[in-house]
Each structure stands twice: as C-alpha cells, then as structure tokens.
Structure 1
Amino acid sequence: MFTLVILSLGCLHGLYLSYELIRKNTANDANRMLALCIQCFVALLFFILLDESGAFNYVPHLIGFQEPVTFLLAPCFYYYVGRLTSPAYLPFVRTHLLPFFIAVLCAVPFYLLDAQSKWQFLYGDLYAPDLPAWYLSWYENVFVFGAMIQVAIYLVLSWRRLSTYQIVSENNFSSLELINLNWLRRLLIMLGSLYGLWFLDEAIEVNAMACIDHGTGIGCHYDWLIGERVFFFSELGVVIVFYLMSYYGLRQPEIFIQSNQYVVAYEPEAEKYVNSALSETLAAELCRLIEHQVQDEKLFLNPDLTLHDLACASGHSRHHVSQAINQSKKVSFFDFINQLRVTHAQAQLLAHPNRSVLDVSLDSGFNSRSAFYGAFKRYTGVTPGEYRKQHKQLAEKLS
C-alpha cells in the first residue's frame, strides 16, 4: 500500500512540475525538454503503478507501452544538459529518437495481440498463440537490455558535457556562482544510482526466472532473491529526483555563457596550443606582464571579471592570455584571479581585524561570503576566522 501511495504522489508531483516548467517560460527550450523528460518519468511510474496495483487487469491494452517510453528518457535529459551548457547547441537531432521509433515498430506485433494474450504475457508464462515464442522472449529481453545500454551511454555523455562545461567556465570566468551547475552534477549522480538499482532489479528478476523455469541460477541458492525486488527504492528515488528538479529546475535560468565569440572553447590537453604562435618563453613573459597589470590596476577586485575583459585590458587576444596563464601558472583563469583575491583578503583580514569577513570578501572581489570561504579554504587550507586566529596567536607569542 505504501508503495502505491509513493507511486501516486510521484505521478501527481511530476505532472505538476512539468506544467510549472512549461508555464514558467514557454520560450525556454531547456525547460520544455526537462518537462518532457519528467513526463517520461511520470509515464514509467504510472505503468509501474498499474502493474503493482493489478490495474492492468482492467486496461490490458496498455501493457507494453512503457518499453518505448524508456528510450525517450535519456535523450531528453541529455538535450536538457546541452541546452543549459552551450549557446550554440544544435537543435534536437532526430537520430536521438531513432531507438524510440525502432522500439515502437518492433512492438507493433505485440500491440496487435488480444487482451488475453497480453495479460498472459505479463502474468503468465510468455505464451501467446498469435506470436512465436522467440519473438516474445526477444521482446522481453532486447527492450530491457537495449534501454539499459542506451541510458548508460547517455549518462556518460551527459557527465562528459558537464565536465567540459566546468572546464570552459573556469577558463573564462572568475566567478561561477550564477553559472555553476553543481546541482545538475549531483542529480546526474543520483540518476546513476537509480540506474544501478534498475540494473540490480533486472539481475534479480533474471536469476529468479532462471530458478523458476529451469531450477538454476543464484535465486535458487538465496530464496529472498525471488521474492525481494528493489523497485521500491527505485520509485522512491524517482520521486526524490522530482523534488530536486522542482527546487533547482524552476530556479535555473537558461545559461548561455555569453556569445561564442567571447569565450575560449574547450580543447583536449593534447591538442592545446599545438598551432599557437606563442612560444613557452613568450607565454611566460606575457603571463608576467598580465600578472603585474592585474595587481597594479587591481583588476581582480572586479567580481565579474572575465577572460575577455582581461584580454581587452591587456591588448592581447583571449587565446594568448589563456595560454599564458595556463602554461606558466598551470592553473585556470578562475584559479589565477581567485588566488590574487585571496592574497588581497589575507592582507585585509590582518590589517583590519575588526572588519567582518563579509565586508572583506566583498571588497576583495568575491560575490558572496560562501564563495569567499570556499576559495579561502581551498588556497590556504584554513577558514578566514582560523587564519586571523593563527596570526593573532603568533603575534602574541612574538610580543
């Protein structure tokens, strides 16, 4: 009963969330794709609800419609990630939908079965008089494992796109608070966990069926495998995903990292600077000049400073400025600027012991207290408060 309640709440909340995403901004492609992704989740939960509640007895012709829907889920999520992370991301390519259409075509013979045959397939022994046994067995296994392979591929592709986005962001911006997608990375990890539960559930079912049909398999040695399933945890996880999407998805603007003409694109490490006219010696000299300029003019105090801004101020191209910093300092533009900010903040913390940490952080070029604390701990190993305390104790010992 509790499982049915969870499934019902998940379906209702998913429908409400998809409606809110579309209503919030009808011109936002990312929101529309996220709404479609959530609707696919809702459809799958709804079919599980029909199965768990026994409602398929009353609507047997809906049996089997959940399999093709699974092939829509991963491409929709991948496209959502793409629309958030790139202004030049291509329109949704029809080839991403090819597995879905193939699944529908392959399922047509099953859809044409009578209600009794479909019911037998779901609750009986895969027997259907109008279709050969090999087709029904193929239908049962290929759909499941094909979907699992597809989802795994898109999860990896989504993770790679987010990782590339992080690298591009750090190479072009000095503040990431408004453009970071850490919540989406955490969501992707959770989706990967749900995938693991799905895989485990299918493995349990395969072993249970092997034991029941042939008397072989792990399930015969561990009785609980036959009776126990991890559906509940998967369903609960999907509902939690809905709530995460509610909180973050509705608040997430469609991020366009400026225009491509102002951004240094991502390049694999092996291909970086291969065709650059800037030698390592010239890059080191340029980096020295840039560092002096940033410190003398205190450009790092601008919380919205970008690589494009620094290139304009120095009179050099973005690519040369980026190369000079990356090669000579072995850090990204983000780390280069924030290290200077932290160094400035260290001096301010000691020079003005009565000033609040928030005031020092804002005066040092940080947009927020949390960003300042994160950067300070990252580069010094201690918090601002601990840094002040350590130097106060040192001064007392020396006095």
Structure 2
Amino acid sequence: MSQIQAFILAIGGFQGFLLFTLLISDKRVNYASKLLGVYCLLLAATLLLPLIVSAANSNFSWLIGWLVFLPASYGALSYLYCRTAMTGSSLRLRDIVHLSPLLICYILNYEILFSAEKALDFVSAPQDTLALKLTLTVSYGQALLYGVLLIMMIYRFQKKAKQNLSSYNPDTFKWHWCLVVFIVLIWSLKALSSVTNLAAPMVNFIADCLLVILIYFFAIAQWRKPSLFHVQQLQAELSKPDVPSKKTLTDGLLDENMRSSVLSLVKKEVEEHRLYRNNKLTLASLAEQVGISLHHLSETLNQHGGKNFNQFINEYRVAEVCKQLDENSDRKLIDMAMDAGFSSKSSFNAIFKKVTGKPPTLYRQQQADR
C-alpha cells in the first residue's frame, strides 16, 4: 500500500467517525440521519481495515475478522436508509432479517473471528475454499438483490407520489436515483476486482473511494438539511391501494363524454375554490371534495387530461405565481409560492422550472425587462 493510499484511507476513516458523531448527536436530525450515521461508522471501520492489516500484529488485529465482512451489510443499509429517508418511518423489528447476509458471512468464517492470526492470513492470502466461495457469493448476491429491491422501491415511491401527492420536491428522487447509479458502479468495480488479478487492488481502491465520496456526500447533505430526502405524506399514501395509471388503463371504466364531464367538474371546483392552494392536497382528498370516486378521478386525469395528479395541481400553482410576476408584483417569490400551495422553496424552484423551462428568478427578471 502506498503512502497516498494510506493517507486517503486514514482521512476517510476519520471523516466517517466525525460524520457519525454529528449525525447521531445532533438533535435536529431525523431517524434516517441516524441510520446514515451508523452507515458512516461502518464505512469508516472498513476503510481503516487495510491500515490495521498493514500494521500486522497491532493492538487492533483482533478486529480484522469482524470488519472484513462489513460490506455484506451495505446493500441492506442503502435500502433501509432510502426507505426511512423518503417515508420518515423508523425501522421495524422484522427488519433484523436484513442482517442475514452479514450473519451468514460470520457463520461461514467463524474460525477467523476470534483469531487475529487466522484473520490476518485470511485477508493477506485467502485460500480458495468452499467457505470463501460461499462468502463471495453471499456478498455479491446481497449487493445484486438489494440493488434490485432499491430500484423497485424508488420506482414505486415515485409513482405513488406522482399519482397521489400535490406537494413534494421531484429532485428528491433524483438524489435517490443518483445513489442507485453509484451503487451499481461501485459493486461493478468490486466484482471486476475479484476477477482481475493484475489491477485488482487499484480497482478495489477506486471502488472504495467512490463509496466514500457517495456516502459522505449524502451524509453532509442530510446533516445540513434533514428533510432533503423526505417526501411528506408518502407513508400514509403507501398504505392505500394503487390507482390505475395511464399505462395500465386502456378503455377505462368511463366513456369519453363522461371523462370530459368529470374533468370539467374537477377543473371548476379546483379553480373556483382554489383548492390547489392547499399544500396538503392529495388525490383522495380532491376526489372527496369534488364528490367522485378516487378511481374515476385518476382515470379522468390520466386518460382525458393526459397528466398525473401532481402535474395537474402544480400547473395551477405555477400559473398563479406567473400571473403575479406578469403583473410585476414586488412580493417575494417564496411568499407567492407558499400562497399558491407550494410546500417549500426547493419544490417550488424545481417544479416552476419544469413547467416554464426557466428558474423563477430568471422568469421574474425577463418580465421586469419588458
């Protein structure tokens, strides 16, 4: 190991312990932040493992057997973190099953857990045994399994939010999709290092560096703004059955004339009573207020209106802000946004740009220059 690599690993380990302390001790942070703090702690311990191994018979050699298999828990931690971050929920007792890959690795290699000498031999010159093959299978298998589960979960949550919620920051899901891309890249490099003899140490080191950058970047962002990755009201909506989307409906349950009538009724109620100003408005609450079924409302918006619920409501909100900007109102943008029904500055900026193609500040400037 070169001095540069040792230095990077030492700095990464120190930062991991620091972020763990910040995320666990800060009273402002939420449950997901604390879980991410544990992730940072385990990652820091993994980064320090090569330094412990290079030091040979040090006072920390007894930790080698316990630390070497920690990556077998990273897939579960990524999955559980995303779930708790987006929904605001806490871990449940049955979530202990997610520790299975790590426990299996410990059971398969129990002999090295309590022997520093055997652990050092295992890491320095691993023998091609059945236990090692099974350990690698479990380690890479859990990465693949939780990668698939993570993709399915984020897709489901995003679909649910678009169908049922009027207020959430769409960039929240961009953060999580970014996490998925990095995780796939990191484990692909890890897999490559296991089959590449010549450049294996360097490839594995690059994968570790990417993992450090990814997790620490998320940790700092989570610490600065705990609500950044949270989708409000999502947890409550997940307990409700999915409504048909545009892709799953063909002929639908309503004919074209009926859908047109329902859409006109919905637009009338939303516009007359300015229902879009309620930042907690959901598909279910709108259906109840208008007096139609949840299924028929979703079908009408998707099939006849050509939009999901989130798009439908937020276009009204953006239109109200644009109207004030067109009139050269001197009110603050955030005040206009909140009055129009947006729940945060970040969601307002993201949705306004998506609808108009311009950031709100640029739109205001262009209107003022006319």
Task: Give the TM-score band, short-chain normalised.
Answer: 0.7 to 0.9
Give the aligned partner of residue 19 of structure 1: 21
2:106 corresponding residue in structure 1: 104
Q: What letter corresponds to residue 307 of structure 2 in structure 1? A: V
Higher alpha-carbon Rg = 1
> What's the TM-score, normalizing by structure 1?
0.73
The residue number in structure 2 matching 1:291 is 267
Tell me if structure 2 keeps the 8 A contact 1:50–1:56.
Answer: yes
Match of 2:190 among 166, 176, 198: 198
- Taking only aligned residues, the RMSD between alpha carbons, in angstroms, comes to 3.9
- Summarize deviations over 1:182-234 as a string: whole Å, max 9, x none: 433333333333223322322323xx3xxxxxxxxxxxxxxxx37x6134423
User: What is the match of residue 397 of structure 1?
Assistant: none
1:320-331 maps to which residues of 2 (within 5 A)? 320-331=296-307
Residue 82 (structure 1) shift: 2.3
1:75 corresponds to which residue?
76
Indicate yes or no: 2:319 matched with 1:343.
Answer: yes
Secondary structure of 1:174's match? coil
Aligned with residue 180 of structure 1, among 172, 181, 184: 172
Task: Kindly report which structure 2 residues correspond to 1:1-399, keeping only aligned pairs within 5 A, or say none.
Answer: 1-24=3-26, 29-51=31-53, 54-58=54-58, 61-86=62-87, 91-111=93-113, 115=117, 118-124=119-125, 126=127, 136-177=128-169, 180-205=172-197, 208=198, 225=199, 229-250=202-223, 251-253=225-227, 257=233, 260=236, 264-266=240-242, 282-350=258-326, 352-353=327-328, 355=330, 358=333, 361-362=337-338, 364-367=340-343, 371-382=347-358, 385=362, 389=366
SS of equivalent residue, structure 2 residue 304: helix
How high is the sequence identity, in percent, across the aligned residues? 23
Could you list the runs of 5+ residues in structure 2 that have no partner in the other structure?
none
Looking at structure 2, the residues matched to 348 and 114 of structure 1 have their Cα atoms a distance apart, in angstroms, of 70
Q: What TM-score, normalized to structure 2?
A: 0.78
Structure 1 gaps of 5+ residues are 127-135, 209-224, 394-399
Contact 1:74/1:151 (CA < 8 Å) preserved in 2? Answer: yes
Report the Cα distance in structure 2 between the residues aligned to 1:371 and 1:306, rounded to whole angstroms: 16
Residues 365 and 124 of structure 1, relative CA distance in 2, 3 Å threshold: closer
User: Aligned to 2:202, what secondary structure does the other structure show?
Assistant: coil
Letter in 1 for 2:66: F
Q: In structure 2, what is the Cα distance between the partners aligned to 1:369 and 1:102?
A: 46
Alpha-carbon distance in structure 2 between the residues aligned to 1:311 and 1:88: 30
Query: Residue 124 of structure 1: CA displacement?
Result: 4.7
CA distance in structure 1 between the partners assigned to 2:25 and 2:66 by the alignment: 28
In structure 2, the CA distance between the partners of 1:144 and 1:26, relative to structure 1 (3 Å rule), is: farther
Q: CA deviation at 1:112?
A: 6.7
Higher mean Cα deviation, 61-70 or 36-45? Answer: 61-70
Is the 1:167–1:266 contact (alpha carbons within 8 Å) kept by the matching residues of 2?
A: no
Moved more, 167-176 or 67-76: 67-76
- Evaluate the alpha carbon distance shift between residue 354 and residue 37 of structure 1 in structure 2; reply closer, same or farther with a 3 A threshold: closer
